[in-house]
Amino acid sequence: MSGPAGALVHVEDGTGRQWGSGFLADDRGTVVTAYEAVRDLPDILLRPADGPGRPVRVGAVTLLPGSGLALLCAPGLAAVPLP
């Protein structure tokens, strides 16, 4: 999927429940999402619209509560970054 929709990523917990969404910001696998979507999740799975889910390690999450954002590092995620 190309264009902005190709950058969309669903944020899920280890059971597959969706907690929010985000977008792939660059070709290194940086996903931007809401702080509230991930702050209490022990297990995070990122699932692009048309690809397999990818687990995110705890150390690959940067919480930015003052901005209301979180940055997740998921190299190899099957999504297209926003231009």
pLDDT of amino acid 72: 96
Reported as type and span, the H/E element at residue 35 is helix 35-38
What residues contact residue 80 under an 8 Å CB cut-off, 6+ apart? 1, 2, 3, 6, 7, 24
pLDDT of amino acid 5: 76
- Rg of the chain (C-alpha set): 11
pLDDT (tens digit, 9 = 90+) per residue, 22-62? 999 999 999 999 999 999 899 999 999 888 889 998 789 99
Binned at pLDDT 50, 70 and 90, residue 3 comes out as low
pLDDT of amino acid 52: 84
| Bridge partner residues of 78 (DSSP) | none
Question: What CATH superfamily classification does 4-73 receive?
Answer: Trypsin-like serine proteases (2.40.10.10)
More confident residue, 2 or 19: 19
